[in-house]
C-alpha cells in the first residue's frame, strides 16, 4: 500500500480496533494523531508508535462534545498544516430493549457514535476538499445494516453513519475526497469482552467462520481504503464479519 507521508486522525485509537488502525497506518509511514476520551489510553498508543520509530501524537477529546471536536480540529490543522485521512472509529454501546431504553441511553449513543462523525467531518473534510485530497473511513457495524434486538440506539447510529457517509461521498467526490464505511461483525475487543459467555457462544453460532475477528482484520481493510490504491472507491460499505451478514 502507498501512503506518501500522509497524516491521519483516528478516533477511539486508545484501545481495540482504533489502536490497531493507528498501529497499521503508523507502520506504513503515516503520521497518526491518536484520539481517545482518556489521555492515558491514546497517550500509551502514541508512545508505543514513537518507540517503534513511527510518528504519532495523542490528543484526548470527548468526541461527543461538538465544541471540543471543532476546537481540537482547528488546533491540529494549524499544527500539522493538513490532515489527509480521517477515521471515525470511536464508539460505545448502551444496550437494552426499547421498552427499557432511557432517553439518555439513546442520546449518548447517537451523540458519541453518529453526531461525532458530523463534527469531525465538517471540521476536517472541508480542508480536505480545498486541498483536493482526502480519505474518510467511518467504522460502523453490521448491526447498522441488519439491526439487532436490544441495540436500537446503536443500530440507528451505525445505520446513520452509512447514510451520512454515502451523502458526503457524493458531496466530496469532485474534490478527490473519498468516504467509505467498514462494518465489522464480532471483533475481540473490550466492547465484546463484556458480553456474557452464553451471548458469545450464540454469536459464534451465527458466524460462518465460527469465530470472532481480530482488531487487525478491521485495521487492514481501513488502511487499504486510506491508501493511494483505493483512489477510485467511494460511498461503499465493506463488511468484515467472517461471513455473518452475507
Catalytic residues: 154
Stretch 122-161 residues interacting with ligand NAP (CB under 6 A): 139, 141
Choose, by CB under 6 A, the member of 104, 190, 197, 198 that binds ligand NAP. 190
Neighbours of 241 (CB within 10 A): 24
CB nearer to ligand NAP: give 87 or 128: 87
CB nearer to ligand NAP: give 12 or 125: 12
DSSP alpha helix (H) spans, 28-151? 39-51, 66-80, 103-109, 116-131, 143-146
> Considering the complex, what minimum distance in angstroms separates the CB of residue 76 from ligand NAP?
15
Residue 22 · residue 58 · CB < 8 Å:
no
187 near ligand NAP, rule: CB under 6 A: yes
- In the block, cell 452475507 appears at 246
184 near ligand NAP, rule: CB under 6 A: yes
Q: Is 38 helix (H, G, I), strand (E, B) or coil?
A: coil
Could you tell me which residues are beta bridge partners of residue 181?
Answer: 138, 237
> Considering the complex, what minimum distance in angstroms separates the CB of residue 152 from ligand NAP?
15
Q: Is 210 helix (H, G, I), strand (E, B) or coil?
A: coil
Could you tell me which residues are beta bridge partners of residue 88?
Answer: 138
119 near ligand NAP, rule: CB under 6 A: no
Q: 150: which residues sit within 8 A by CB, 6+ positions away?
A: 95, 96, 97
Residue 208 · residue 183 · CB < 8 Å:
no
Stretch 84-113 residues interacting with ligand NAP (CB under 6 A): 89-92, 112
Stretch 33-92 residues interacting with ligand NAP (CB under 6 A): 36-38, 41, 61-64, 89-92
Stretch 200-229 residues interacting with ligand NAP (CB under 6 A): none
> Considering the complex, what minimum distance in angstroms separates the CB of residue 38 from ligand NAP?
4
Choose, by CB under 6 A, the member of 7, 9, 10, 15 that binds ligand NAP. 15
Q: 199: which residues sit within 8 A by CB, 6+ positions away?
A: none
Choose, by CB under 6 A, the member of 7, 189, 227, 234 that binds ligand NAP. 189
Which span sits near ligand NAP by CB under 6 A: 24-32, 97-105, 187-195, 220-228?
187-195
Cell numbers of 191, please?
A: 466492547
Give the integer Cα–Cα distance in Å for 55 and 47: 9
**Phi and psi, residue 137, nearest 5°:** -125, 125
Site for ligand NAP, rule CB under 6 A: 11-12, 14-18, 36-38, 41, 61-64, 89-92, 112, 139, 141, 184, 186-187, 189-192
Amino acid at each position: 500500500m502507498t501512503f506518501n507521508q500522509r497524516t491521519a486522525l483516528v478516533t477511539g485509537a486508545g484501545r481495540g480496533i482504533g489502536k490497531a488502525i493507528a498501529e497499521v497506518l503508523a507502520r506504513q509511514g503515516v503520521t497518526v494523531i491518536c484520539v481517545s476520551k482518556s489521555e492515558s489510553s491514546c497517550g500509551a498508543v502514541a508512545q508505543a508508535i514513537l518507540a517503534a520509530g513511527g510518528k504519532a501524537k495523542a490528543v484526548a477529546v470527548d468526541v461527543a462534545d461538538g465544541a471540543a471536536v471543532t476546537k481540537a480540529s482547528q488546533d491540529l490543522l494549524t499544527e500539522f498544516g493538513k490532515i489527509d485521512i480521517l477515521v471515525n472509529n470511536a464508539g460505545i454501546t448502551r444496550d437494552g430493549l426499547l421498552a427499557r431504553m432511557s432517553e439518555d441511553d439513546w442520546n449518548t449513543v447517537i451523540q458519541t457514535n453518529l453526531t461525532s462523525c458530523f463534527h469531525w467531518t465538517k471540521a476536517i473534510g472541508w480542508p480536505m476538499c480545498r486541498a483536493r485530497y482526502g480519505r474518510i473511513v467511518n467504522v460502523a457495524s453490521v448491526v447498522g445494516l441488519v439491526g439487532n434486538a436490544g441495540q436500537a440506539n446503536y443500530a440507528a447510529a451505525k445505520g446513520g453513519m452509512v447514510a451520512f457517509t454515502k451523502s458526503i461521498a457524493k458531496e466530496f467526490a469532485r474534490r478527490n475526497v473519498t468516504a467509505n464505511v467498514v462494518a465489522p461483525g464480532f471483533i475481540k475487543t473490550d466492547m465484546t469482552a463484556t458480553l456474557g459467555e452464553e451471548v458469545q457462544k450464540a454469536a459464534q453460532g451465527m458466524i460462518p467462520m465460527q469465530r470472532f475477528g481480530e482488531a487487525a482484520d478491521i485495521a487492514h481493510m481501513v488502511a487499504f481504503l486510506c491508501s493511494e490504491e483505493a483512489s477510485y472507491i467511494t460511498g461503499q460499505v465493506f463488511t468484515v464479519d467472517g461471513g455473518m451478514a452475507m
